[in-house]
Amino acid sequence: MKRILLTIIILSYGSIALSQAERNPEIEKEVNEQLWGPFKKAWETRNAQDFNDLHTDDVLRVSKWGGVKIGSEYKDRIVESYKKPDNRERTIDFWLEHRYYSGNTGYEVGYLKIVIKEEGKDPRYSYSRFHVVLKKVDGKWKIAQDWDTNNINGVAVTAEDYAKGTPLDL
């Protein structure tokens, strides 16, 4: 029940934000440089400090893999996860379907592709759709809310879904 309520709140917030927001190529470029480029690098290199710095202190993270995590609970989980030995090469790429901003708040919806390469094995591909609420904190864009899923209404997000857009040039 809590997940359903949280999803409704996030989607409602998104609807309100969209009704008052506009696309802005200058802000999109700034978000790419301050957030998505560093996010990609920190995630791929498993740099927990840099990754966590891209999120607000009270970040709200929702996923089927970890439920609802808020603030330090989420950030501590990242630190623990990134400490584990992992010699796999991993990459993450995004394309954004919707990007709206109003003042120091942004709302973005997109798709991501993850590729995991392990020596002696075929690469594994994973695709998801995500929604993020962004906040500009001390002049830097950060993720305040993050939700993603690898299926929508029981239908898997696929390579074909990802191929519909143009990946960010980070």
pLDDT score of 19 more than 50: no
Q: Give the contacts of 62 (CB within 8 A, at least 6 positions apart).
A: 3, 6, 7, 10, 68, 69, 145, 146, 147
pLDDT-wise least confident of 1-15, 29-43, 104-118, 147-161: 1-15
pLDDT score of 155 more than 90: yes
User: Where along the chain do its domains lie?
Assistant: 2-162
Average pLDDT in the chain: 90
Stated as kind and residue range, the H or E segment containing 8 is helix 2-20
pLDDT score of 26 more than 60: yes
**Mean pLDDT calculated for residue range 4-24:** 52
HEC sequence for 66-128: CEEEECHHHHHHHHHHHHCCCCCEEEEEEEEEEEEEECCEEEEEEEEEEEEECCCCCCEEEEE
The pLDDT value given to residue 8: 46
pLDDT tens for 118-136 read 999 999 999 999 999 999 9
Q: In the CATH scheme, what is the code of domain 2-162?
A: 3.10.450.50
d(CA 128, CA 54): 20
**Mean pLDDT calculated for residue range 83-106:** 96
- The pTM for the full model equals 0.85
